Amino acid sequence: MECIDLYNKDVDRYKHGKLALKALKNNIQKEIGENINLIKLSEFVFDEELSEVAREIWSLK
């Protein structure tokens, strides 16, 4: 996979979240020809225990 190859060639560049996210977004944008929002709510990424912690921390209802 290209992503794995890119990471393995320059681990220092891609081990930081913001840089890795930017590189991923740029590669996807080149592939599909438009901007994409990779950070959005998803019903597929949910954990009740973490949600409970969030409610306690931020007094969410």
pLDDT per residue over 2-18, tens digit each? 878 888 898 887 777 88
Is this prediction's pTM over 0.75? no
What average pLDDT does the segment 25-48 reach?
A: 89
What average pLDDT does the segment 26-38 reach?
A: 91
pLDDT per residue over 35-44, tens digit each? 888 888 888 8
Q: Which residues contact 24 (CB under 8 A, 6 or more apart)?
A: 3, 38
